[in-house]
Chains A and B, each alone.
Chain A
Amino acid sequence: AQSVTQLDSQVPVFEEAPVELRCNYSSSVSVYLFWYVQYPNQGLQLLLKYLSGSTLVKGINGFEAEFNKSQTSFHLRKPSVHISDTAEYFCAVSDQTGANNLFFGTGTRLTVIP
């Protein structure tokens, strides 16, 4: 089975500063990796996904993530955050066998300070 660890439960950052949200995964098979964002009282929105190929993945809203197989990591980054980026961010993993379920991390609450 797969598992995901999001190392920081809360990350405060000043507006226009860079941010990195950390994610490590564990799996004995090849995986797909995802980052989702959840705004208050809403569902999850896909930010980006890694399926194969280039290890640097660009997503929506200026976010990007880098897949590092040797470190089993998939950290999310943004060079300059906005107030509107305040939300909960979830890293998720699934295996490549065709099973259609995601294993989620516990989430990181990003708070952008004006």
Chain B
Amino acid sequence: KAGVTQTPRYLIKTRGQQVTLSCSPISGHRSVSWYQQTPGQGLQFLFEYFSETQRNKGNFPGRFSGRQFSNSRSEMNVSTLELGDSALYLCASSLAPDTHYGYTFGSGTRLTVV
């Protein structure tokens, strides 16, 4: 079956712009989480959605937001981009909102802010 699909794979944006990243989970998976990966901070949890509701949020400013649609697809948005937002953004899906089910990660979207 198809894995977790993230689009686009690469993105270059200018400071001050906004960006939307998309994630399609594995069929049947209803929980979607987002992580930011940078060389300096490593992997950090952004937020998690289940049944179109945000269940959990990491320690990121309000410029980072997300949503989940009824088909479990998710988008995350970053407004007023800063150079420090350059990172690999990873989406992960699981059957339900409990880590013991295990995550399946997508290949990520690499965002470069110039």
B56 within 8 A of A: yes
- Per the bound structure, the CA–CA distance linking A32 and B98 in Å amounts to 10
B106 within 8 A of A: yes
Chain A residues whose CB sits within 8 angstroms of the CB of B45 once the complex forms: 101-103
- Per the bound structure, the CA–CA distance linking A32 and B102 in Å amounts to 10
Chain A residues within CB distance 8 Å of chain B: 32, 34, 36, 41-46, 49, 51, 90, 92, 94, 96, 98-107
- Contact check: which of B94, B97, B104 meets A98 at CB < 8 Å? B97
Q: How many A-B residue pairs have CB under 8 A?
A: 63
B108 within 8 A of A: yes
Q: Which 10 A-B pairs give the minimum distances between C-beta atoms? A: A43-B105, A104-B43, A94-B99, A101-B45, A44-B105, A100-B97, A43-B107, A106-B42, A100-B48, A51-B100
Chain A residues whose CB sits within 8 angstroms of the CB of B102 once the complex forms: 34, 46, 49
Chain B residues whose CB sits within 8 angstroms of the CB of A32 once the complex forms: 99-100
Closest residue of chain B to A48 (Cβ to Cβ) is: B102
Contact with A along B34-60 (1 / 0, CB 8 A): 010000001111001010000110100
- Contact check: which of A43, A94, A105, A107 meets B106 at CB < 8 Å? A43
> Are B56 and A104 neighbours in the complex by a CB distance under 8 Å?
no
Contact with A along B100-114 (1 / 0, CB 8 A): 101111111000000
B21 within 8 A of A: no
Chain B residues whose CB sits within 8 angstroms of the CB of A41 once the complex forms: 107
Chain B residues whose CB sits within 8 angstroms of the CB of A100 once the complex forms: 31, 33, 48, 50, 55-56, 94, 97-99
B90 within 8 A of A: yes
B87 within 8 A of A: no
B26 within 8 A of A: no
